[in-house]
Structure 1
Amino acid sequence: MSHDAIIVGGSYAGLSAGLQLARARRRVLVIDAGIRRNRFASHSHGFLGQDGRAPDDIAADGRAELMDYPNVTWQVGEATSVQRDGEGFLVTLRDGNVLAARRLILAGGVRDELPAIEGLAERWGRHVFHCPYCHGYELDQGRIGVLAVSPMSIHHALMLPDWGSTTFFTNGVFAPDAEQLAQLARRGVVVEPDRVLSISGERVDINLADSRSVALDGLFVMPRTHQNSPLVEQLGCALVEGPMGLYLQTSETQETSVPGVFACGDAALATGSVALAVGTGARAGTGAHQSLIFR
């Protein structure tokens, strides 16, 4: 059976997109591999009505709401390839199953590439974060670190003092110029130029090359992001270079550069959060629906 839309990715953005299409009484298929980007975090913050809840619980409630609609099908699996089929698309799963739809919504998210520093990955989502709005408040104005991964990290360092006393570990990545140092000083940021060797301790102890250790309550770092879904490259969707990596270029209706293909969530955002993912999902769902009518 051909569906009106296939949504690749069943996390927050994909669920939100599916809900709009389901309520428009369209036949919707969600393909989900079950790997959410925020699976490492115990609590999600900054999403109105869900602040402080476990990410698993938010996703489970969203799926239950979506699956209440009889015109929605859920397929556990990984979409590995896609091809045009007239005005629609054929999506092949890893198990060889081929599924057809008139529209395609890419909501597969991104994967994070973290700095190769011993002890960092083990603390990701618990004591090491990338989004101050998601996790800064819970540090209770404590000791915060920012680990530089590029010159863009200075923006992180200038933001974080609103959440606590901040130390900027430039780690040999770049040396702030005089103007940047003045900006950091005005914000009360301590600049630590020594190289970071490892992270240890119950929370975050930064071990430096000169044998010093700096104890923190939390550390922020901008990971390098990569598109999760191979369908992005196969379709030839245009990408935009953001501060953390490439993300999908979309229109006001979340349509990509490929007609009939929409995108939402972290895959289509320069920087992501649950609230933003849900918003773009709603736009992608309504955009895909209206494209079925007006073209």
Structure 2
Amino acid sequence: MSFEAIVIGGNFAGLSAAMQLARALRRVLLVDAGAPRNRYSPASHGFLGQDGQSPAAIMREGKRQLALYPTVTIRDGEVVQARADGGEFVIGIRGGGEERVARIVLATGIRDTLPEIAGLPDRWGHSVLHCPYCHGYEVSGGRLGVLANHPLSAHSAMLIPDWGETTYFTQALFEPDEEQLVRLTARGVRIERSPVVELLGDSPRLEAVRLTDGRIVPLDAVFVAPKTAMASPLAEQLGCVFDDGPSGPVIRTGDNKETTVKGVFAAGDAASAMHNATLASASGVLAGVHCHQSLAMQSAG
């Protein structure tokens, strides 16, 4: 067995997990498919020490630092198969054969499904945003909108006025209940019930949205929580249990980030209902530390 552990995914969570294993002198393989969820965003914000850096630049530097550790191997590629075998795991890498490992850290991330609205996808990560804590400061003072896409959309709309004048578009899908309506009104949120059908302006900038009744509403940015799905089938292949998150399935883990399959750990957006660069990195640290402790305790008998 060439490697003791494999970390699948080279974004913030995966790099953080691999770093802990590397510093514990464990032989670790990191495999990165090179398609992180945050690749559409020009900058990462609210990440201490990295505020304003592009996600790609942060990951490049992370890999550079990780590669300095002699027990680490970094490989570009996609892990397409994973199965348990005799107390270990066999990993299949597309075009790269198989590897046998004792532990797995899944940092495989999630895939976003955006509402089917004309002009929305090409603005994703720029003027169409998912997280006010990640991007709200950069659009503060502007005319902001919230597109209802799930039952918690009204709650999100209550937060956005701290960054700017806010309109909540129900999309004729998620009408606020009486209590929500009182709170939205108290926060100064305008309620618009005619659905948005098109985003307007010189993309990726946003100037306005067109409603189904033909009206044009000026806006500088809109927030929307996309529906999410696993970006990789590996957790399902391994038999991990999932929980229902607010936007899609989440890999179930304990406080030590171990999944319901012994020896398989998970970190990052795939294993958390809250999606944030700092939280992803922190969960990767936990997964890496507990993965190491699992290996150490196994050798102790």
TM-score normalised per structure 1: 0.98
Partner of 2:131: 131
CA contact (8 A) 1:20 1:282 kept: yes
Partner of 1:266: 269
Which segment is superposed worse, 24-33 or 84-93? 84-93
CA–CA distance in structure 2, aligned partners of residues 88 and 183 of structure 1: 53
4+ long deviations beyond 2 Å:
none
CA contact (8 A) 2:150 2:247 kept: no
Partner of 2:150: 150
- What are the Cα deviations for residues 143-182 of structure 1, in whole angstroms up to 9, with x where unaligned? 1100001221111101111111110000111222222111
Counterpart AA for 2:213: D
CA–CA distance in structure 2, aligned partners of residues 294 and 152 of structure 1: 42
The secondary structure found in structure 2 opposite 1:6 is strand
Partner of 2:254: 251
CA–CA distance in structure 2, aligned partners of residues 252 and 179 of structure 1: 34
Following TM superposition, by how much is the alpha carbon of 1:243 offset from its aligned partner in structure 2, in angstroms? 1.1
Match of 1:239 among 221, 233, 242: 242
CA contact (8 A) 1:206 1:213 kept: yes
Counterpart AA for 2:262: P
CA contact (8 A) 1:244 1:271 kept: no
Following TM superposition, by how much is the alpha carbon of 1:106 offset from its aligned partner in structure 2, in angstroms? 0.3
Query: How many residue pairs align between the two structures?
Result: 295
CA–CA distance in structure 2, aligned partners of residues 20 and 78 of structure 1: 22
Match of 1:278 among 278, 281, 291: 281
CA contact (8 A) 1:21 1:289 kept: yes
User: Which ranges in structure 1 are unaligned for 5 or more consecutive residues?
Assistant: none
User: Which ranges in structure 2 are unaligned for 5 or more consecutive residues?
Assistant: none
CA contact (8 A) 1:19 1:66 kept: yes
- What are the Cα deviations for residues 88-113 of structure 1, in whole angstroms up to 9, with x where unaligned? 10000121510111000000100100
Following TM superposition, by how much is the alpha carbon of 1:59 offset from its aligned partner in structure 2, in angstroms? 0.6
CA–CA distance in structure 2, aligned partners of residues 23 and 240 of structure 1: 32
RMSD: 1.0
- What are the Cα deviations for residues 223-262 of structure 1, in whole angstroms up to 9, with x where unaligned? 0111111111111111111111111111111000000000
Counterpart AA for 1:32: D
CA–CA distance in structure 1, aligned partners of residues 174 and 292 of structure 2: 47
Partner of 2:52: 52
CA–CA distance in structure 1, aligned partners of residues 152 and 132 of structure 2: 15
CA contact (8 A) 1:2 1:102 kept: no
